[in-house]
């Protein structure tokens, strides 16, 4: 069993997720996080290798705590036409119970954008996790690889933009309407 998968590492990871969801990532040093969870830098580095490794594992563990989010990408693989699946997916994503994770996601996204060399593991997750799943959904619905990649970028741009609007106080009903109109324009029924 690797160090990261020991019961103690999992306990520390769960405690770190609690702190990160409550406080966010801004100004959160490894030392402050270690103190908040009753540990120290050396132990966190032993179990997770680096601050980036710990934060990446924590963001992924936090994601798992939100079942609507964790089931979102697999839900796009259904037999229903893709447009309705994307619209249902958006509603899962923007559900009020997911807002704490969405805040954490944007915290991590901002840190990763500002300091990509310090967050290579998280950068890798951003490049592959949702993009790969969304692209696979388009391919499963009969799209070719290049078209599916472009459509994936469109969905990510739409969802991330609407998430930002949601987090800054946008009305969910208006965001739903904007989402559905965009999906209808980007992916008309003839393409689904």
| Angle, in degrees to the nearest 10, between helices 7-23 and 99-114 | 90
The answer to whether 37 and 58 are in contact (CB under 8 A) is no
Residues 162-173 pLDDT 10s: 999 999 999 999
Please tell me the distance from the alpha carbon of residue 168 to that of residue 127, in angstroms, as a whole number. Answer: 25
Q: Which of 41, 63, 85 is the last residue of a domain?
A: 63
Residues 33-74 pLDDT 10s: 999 999 999 999 999 999 989 999 999 999 999 988 989 999
Q: Which of 63, 81, 80 is nearest to 72 (CA)?
A: 63
**Residue 73 and residue 50 share a domain:** no
**Residue 116 and residue 25 share a domain:** no
**Residue 49 and residue 120 share a domain:** no
Instruction: Indicate if the pLDDT at residue 2 is higher than 70.
Output: no
**Residue 159 and residue 70 share a domain:** yes
CA distance to 9, 103, 115, per residue, from 98 (Å): 25, 9, 26
**Residue 99 and residue 74 share a domain:** yes
The answer to whether 75 and 87 are in contact (CB under 8 A) is no
**Residue 112 and residue 45 share a domain:** no
**Residue 59 and residue 70 share a domain:** no
Please tell me the distance from the alpha carbon of residue 62 to that of residue 70, in angstroms, as a whole number. Answer: 10
**Residue 136 and residue 48 share a domain:** no
Instruction: Indicate if the pLDDT at residue 3 is higher than 70.
Output: no
Please tell me the distance from the alpha carbon of residue 137 to that of residue 41, in angstroms, as a whole number. Answer: 41
Residues 152-192 pLDDT 10s: 999 999 999 999 999 999 999 999 999 999 999 999 876 65
What pLDDT shows up at residue 31? 95
How many domains are there within the chain?
Answer: 2
- Whole-model pTM? 0.86
Domain limits at 160? 66-191
Q: Which of 178, 147, 185, 148 is nearest to 161 (CA)?
A: 178
**Residue 162 and residue 138 share a domain:** yes
CA distance to 48, 70, 106, per residue, from 4 (Å): 6, 21, 25
| Angle, in degrees to the nearest 10, between helices 51-64 and 7-23 | 80
Residues 101-141 pLDDT 10s: 999 999 988 988 998 998 888 888 887 888 999 999 999 99
**Residue 48 and residue 91 share a domain:** no
Q: What is the CATH number of the domain that holds 53?
A: 1.10.10.60
Please tell me the distance from the alpha carbon of residue 180 to that of residue 174, in angstroms, as a whole number. Answer: 10
Q: Which of 35, 63, 91 is the last residue of a domain?
A: 63
| Angle, in degrees to the nearest 10, between helices 172-186 and 145-167 | 160
Q: What is the mean pLDDT of the chain?
A: 92
Q: Which of 42, 63, 84 is the last residue of a domain?
A: 63
Transcribe 71-112 into DSSP letters: THHHHTTSSS-HHHHHHHHHHHHT-GGGHHHHHHHHHHHHHH
**Residue 124 and residue 72 share a domain:** yes
**Residue 123 and residue 29 share a domain:** no
């Amino acid at each position: 069993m690797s160090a990261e998968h020991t019961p103690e590492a999992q306990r520390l990871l769960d405690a770190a997720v609690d702190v990160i969801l409550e406080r966010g990532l801004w100004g959160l040093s490894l030392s402050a996080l270690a103190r908040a969870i009753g540990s120290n830098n050396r132990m966190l580095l032993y179990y997770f290798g680096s601050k980036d490794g710990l934060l990446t594992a924590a963001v992924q563990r936090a994601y798992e705590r939100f079942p609507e989010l964790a089931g979102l990408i697999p839900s796009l693989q259904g037999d229903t036409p893709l447009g309705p699946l994307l619209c249902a997916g958006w509603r899962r994503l923007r559900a009020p119970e997911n807002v704490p994770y969405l805040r954490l996601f944007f915290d991590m996204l901002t840190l990763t954008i500002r300091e990509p060399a310090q967050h290579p593991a998280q950068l890798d997750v951003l490049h592959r996790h949702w993009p790969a799943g969304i692209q696979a959904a388009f391919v499963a619905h009969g799209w070719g690889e290049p078209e599916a990649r472009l459509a994936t970028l469109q969905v990510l741009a739409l969802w991330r933009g609407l998430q930002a609007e949601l987090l800054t106080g946008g009305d969910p009903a208006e965001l739903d309407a904007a989402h559905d109109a965009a999906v209808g324009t980007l992916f008309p029924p003839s393409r689904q």
